[in-house]
């Protein structure tokens, strides 16, 4: 997408925590919003376990001409349009 020089859209629809907010638990953690005691430990462990995946995929992206990925991410936000398609009735309360 990023090497084609065309507008593109990022769609977030599978996991509402993919759209990060400081008041919400870490993505993929399954941790509650009401108890933040394990959030930081989960974030640190997630980064530790996925560091090589992020590095390898990030290196590949750069090799094929894309910009570096944001830290600890597998996709970029679009400079054109980002759609969040998770239904509000089952979404987390957001700031």
Is there a domain that residue 22 lies in?
A: yes
Q: Give pLDDT tens digits for 28-46.
A: 999 999 999 999 999 999 9
Is there a domain that residue 1 lies in?
A: no
Is there a domain that residue 95 lies in?
A: no
The pLDDT of residue 32: 96
Strand partners, 81: 9
Is there a domain that residue 2 lies in?
A: no
Contact (Cβ atoms closer than 8 angstroms) between residue 13 and residue 88: no
The pLDDT of residue 63: 97
The pLDDT of residue 14: 85
Residues of the chain predicted below pLDDT 70: none
| Secondary structure element (H or E) that encloses residue 57, with its range | helix 39-63
Q: Domain total for the chain?
A: 1
Q: Which domain holds residue 44?
A: 9-90
* Region for 86 from its dihedrals, namely left if φ exceeds 0, alpha if ψ lies in -120 to 50, beta otherwise: beta
Is there a domain that residue 54 lies in?
A: yes
């Amino acid at each position: 997408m990023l090497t084609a020089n065309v507008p593109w859209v990022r769609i977030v629809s599978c996991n509402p925590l993919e759209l990060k907010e400081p008041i919400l638990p870490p993505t993929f953690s399954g941790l509650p919003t009401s108890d933040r005691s394990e959030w930081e430990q989960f974030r640190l462990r997630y980064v530790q376990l996925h560091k090589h995946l992020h590095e390898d995929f990030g290196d590949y992206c750069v090799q094929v001409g894309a910009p570096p990925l944001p830290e600890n991410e597998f996709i970029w936000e679009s400079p054109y349009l980002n759609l969040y398609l998770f239904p509000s009735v089952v979404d987390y309360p957001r700031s």
